[in-house]
Structure 1
Amino acid sequence: MPCLRLRSPHTPKALGGWVLVDALGRPRYWPTIWADVLRAGLEDSTRCRHLYAIDRLYLHFERQYESDLLDCLLTDCQFDEIESGLLGFLSSLRNQATFDGVDNSSTWASAFNFMLDVIRHVGSWTDEIRTALEARVLRLERLYAHLAPCKPRPPAPIRALPSIVIDDLYRIFNPLSIENPFRNERLRWRNYLIFLLAATMGLRRSEIAILPLDAIKSDFDPATGKECYWLNVDESHYEHEDSRSDAPSLKNSQSRRQLPISQDVLIASDNLGMGHKRSRTHSYLFESQKGKPISLRSIQRIFEIASEHLSAPAKKAILIRGNQCISAHDLRHTCAVYRLTKYMESGIDLDTATNKLRVFFGWSATSAMPRHYARAYFESESADVWTDSYDTFVTALRNIEGDH
């Protein structure tokens, strides 16, 4: 396996994570330097994605030169061989894109930027090498930086869910509804809270899966004279090792954030925790029916079950958008459109509104996602249910809770 994840309890946490290895299982020299030193701030999921792309680059050079020599070429700055290998790699990606219909743009970008980073690092060793390499690095950038292995893709489709689907989902996930498809009270409150975190706070599936038990914090606010509550989106600091085979991780450093929570999230959290105690072997907020940390696949299965219970008009609405079922990420998209709508309606200008989105949803400074939703703002019809139907549902839920 080209990428290995170091997860042994005997390995210091700082040395854990993904590493690229050769055919004999030995860590590759420059990918390890690149990931641990030159790009040390990468989160696990991003690091893994880049390393898989870099592995494809190494395997191409090995095929082209009939030897596993890319580390040597980079160390010795053999530009003629490097350029020839890059051209061959780009051609192979283009051929695959043509025949298989896959998009290799991110693979090319990861591999090419890895090469430039390493060459610049090598070139900084002495003044003589730096001067000699500067012109060759510029040549590489001019020749290849703007090339792509496939044709530009059209803009990604808007995936904000229509109001009829959102309305149905609140009905389905309501823990007190006779239409709730989940088997027992604990599962209903667990799944309802997961739904709220995705729909009203825009959390990614991986962010939901790694929340610790004490993710919700509170403090007294002297200005309002009330207790205020917020959610810390972060990894559990109580776990040395995540036992899940699909162990989730934060996407980037911006993913660590604090978000204010609403009363309905607090109610769902309280109901999940009160009266549903069980012995735990982990510190995560959400667990499976067997008491283990919930898997990413299980979270997706929750939304698949909910999709099966949508009304016929709601199913038709998502089919029109090319979806067979709803995912947690669809709710994240919908939440982003809704929040941008609220920002704009409050009189905030578009640039400030998109910057607010960037902070709230944990996007990096270079992410184009906020602008993507600026377009979605003008096309979405999902906001109406949030102000009317959802408020009505929450009011009814609170009244029912007050009767117990």
Structure 2
Amino acid sequence: MYQTSDLALSSKRKVLSYVEALYQFSDALHGPGILDDALFSIDVETLGELLEAYFVSIRNQPNINETAQLRWQTAFRFVNDIIYRLSKSNLPVSQLQVIKGRLDHLGTLYSQLRIGKKRTQDSLRALPSTVVEALYKLLDPVASDNPFRDATSRWRAFLVFILLLHQGLRRGELLMLASDAIKHGVDSKLGRDRYWLSVVENPYEDEDQRYSIPSIKTVNSIRQIPVSELTARIVQGYVENYRGKPAHSYLMNSQRGSPLSAESVTKLFQKITASLPASVLKDLKDRTGKISISAHDLRHTCAVVRLNQLLNQGDSMDEALQKMRTFFGWARSSDMPRKYARAVFEDRLASVWNNVFDDRVVVLRAIPEHKG
């Protein structure tokens, strides 16, 4: 029995009416008994679908008030408490661990949702697939409508886009990279080449003359992250054919032969945004509330997709979040991964990017399909 014994009679009736509303909604959606069946079999996937649908149904009501939030909180606590109680039965330790992981997964995705809450700066969202597809087409160095005039400028913009989107770098980290930041070795166990990116301060430069000097954000930001062979080839192609031979050792070189600046990256994305079709910009605003694209939007997109990749390959939420901290350079105590976990739910990603991010079709299919 769901615990209501400590409540006053009127409050108890209200709570039970909210639980009954969840049952009625579930029955109408998938047929009688679906909620009990999912609870007693601890079918977290089905429970997640029911909770999501119930949340959306409440949020879509014409009048959102405090009662709507209480309905949602009661529904979530009810599901969570029932599963917790069932897990206390005489189950093998291994199965209890699996159930605990599923409870943590549900809690991370659903417990923080607020009915009618306006999105704040803490609400992180991947760019819509339509926007990312448009960026791929626009920034293709051989595209006829590429907004950058010469081959060097096109390849510079394309590399900025690839490293921010595929590797999830911060803008400052990108601008700190040395020209030999991509490392290569042979994996003796797998018998194949592997590539990685060293995100560290440039070891070859003692002084940086740029107005806004880029830096490594924290000690946790110093890291090595895997890179696909395709990305490594793109970087190498830029270095050998378009970077030139400037007097500095930074990877990203400006048109004037100086290290690329933060201000130049900002202007680059302003130009990219201005070159996108009106329909794409409308989609961007409708789905994210934004009217322009920034370098950090690509990091957000990478983070949301990476988390889905880890969850879909079978990692528990705790394991996935810890790997996220390593990949994106967050402190162990950082709450950033959990913010992205909420974004994963809100964007309802249907699939994930390929491990090496090589297949453009896979990339585009993995971007959130927002439901209006």
Instruction: State the TM-score bracket (shorter-chain normalisation).
Output: 0.5 to 0.7
Q: Which residue number corresponds to residue 327 of structure 2?
A: 360
| 1:243 corresponds to 2:209 | yes
Distance between the aligned counterparts of 1:160 and 1:326, measured in 2?
11
Distance between the aligned counterparts of 1:383 and 1:169, measured in 2?
21
| 1:337 corresponds to 2:304 | yes
Q: Which residue number corresponds to residue 281 of structure 1?
A: 247
Give the TM-score taking structure 1 as reference length.
0.56
Distance between the aligned counterparts of 1:275 and 1:247, measured in 2?
26
Distance between the aligned counterparts of 2:242 and 2:289, measured in 1?
39
Distance between the aligned counterparts of 1:200 and 1:251, measured in 2?
19
Q: How big is the shift at 1:268?
A: 1.4
What is the 5 A alignment of 1:41-120?
none
Q: Which residue number corresponds to residue 257 of structure 1?
A: 223
Q: Which residue number corresponds to residue 198 of structure 1?
A: 164
Deviations 1:133-165 (A, max 9, x none): xxxxxxxxxxxxxxxxxxxx9572233111111
Distance between the aligned counterparts of 2:121 and 2:317, measured in 1?
20
Q: Which residue number corresponds to residue 85 of structure 1?
A: none
Q: Which residue number corresponds to residue 298 of structure 1?
A: 264
Q: How big is the shift at 1:312?
A: 2.4
| 1:172 corresponds to 2:171 | no
Deviations 1:192-221 (A, max 9, x none): 111111111100000000100110111122
CA contact (8 A) 2:139 2:154 kept: yes
Higher RCO (CA-CA < 8 Å; seq separation 6+) = 2
| 1:185 corresponds to 2:151 | yes
Q: Which residue number corresponds to residue 39 of structure 2?
A: none
| 1:322 corresponds to 2:289 | yes
CA contact (8 A) 2:228 2:358 kept: no
Deviations 1:331-373 (A, max 9, x none): 1011100001111111111111111111100011221100101
Q: Which residue number corresponds to residue 24 of structure 1?
A: none
Q: Which residue number corresponds to residue 391 of structure 1?
A: 359
Alpha-carbon spacing, 1:228–1:249, altered in 2? closer, same or farther (3 Å): same
Give the secondary structure class of the aligned counterpart of 1:227: strand
Deviations 1:113-136 (A, max 9, x none): xxxxxxxxxxxxxxxxxxxxxxxx
Alpha-carbon spacing, 1:290–1:394, altered in 2? closer, same or farther (3 Å): farther
Q: How big is the shift at 1:267?
A: 2.3
Aligned amino acid, residue 185 of structure 1? A
Distance between the aligned counterparts of 1:383 and 1:284, measured in 2?
38
| 1:208 corresponds to 2:208 | no
Q: Please, which runs of 5 or more residues in structure 2 have no aligned partner?
A: 1-118, 364-372
CA contact (8 A) 2:309 2:353 kept: no
Distance between the aligned counterparts of 2:350 and 2:158, measured in 1?
20
Give the TM-score taking structure 2 as reference length.
0.61
Q: Which residue number corresponds to residue 110 of structure 1?
A: none
CA contact (8 A) 1:180 1:188 kept: yes
CA contact (8 A) 1:246 1:296 kept: yes
CA contact (8 A) 1:205 1:296 kept: yes
Aligned amino acid, residue 293 of structure 1? P
CA contact (8 A) 2:252 2:259 kept: yes
CA contact (8 A) 2:141 2:158 kept: yes
Q: How big is the shift at 1:386?
A: 4.6
Distance between the aligned counterparts of 1:168 and 1:212, measured in 2?
29
| 1:233 corresponds to 2:199 | yes
Give the secondary structure class of the aligned counterpart of 2:183: strand
Q: Which residue number corresponds to residue 346 of structure 1?
A: 313
Distance between the aligned counterparts of 2:145 and 2:362, measured in 1?
17
RMSD, aligned α-carbons: 2.3
Distance between the aligned counterparts of 1:328 and 1:246, measured in 2?
16
Alpha-carbon spacing, 1:182–1:384, altered in 2? closer, same or farther (3 Å): farther
- Report the more deviating stretch, 332-341 or 272-281: 272-281
Deviations 1:72-104 (A, max 9, x none): xxxxxxxxxxxxxxxxxxxxxxxxxxxxxxxxx
Q: How big is the shift at 1:179?
A: 2.1
Aligned amino acid, residue 264 of structure 2? S
Deviations 1:19-48 (A, max 9, x none): xxxxxxxxxxxxxxxxxxxxxxxxxxxxxx
Percent sequence identity over matched residues? 43
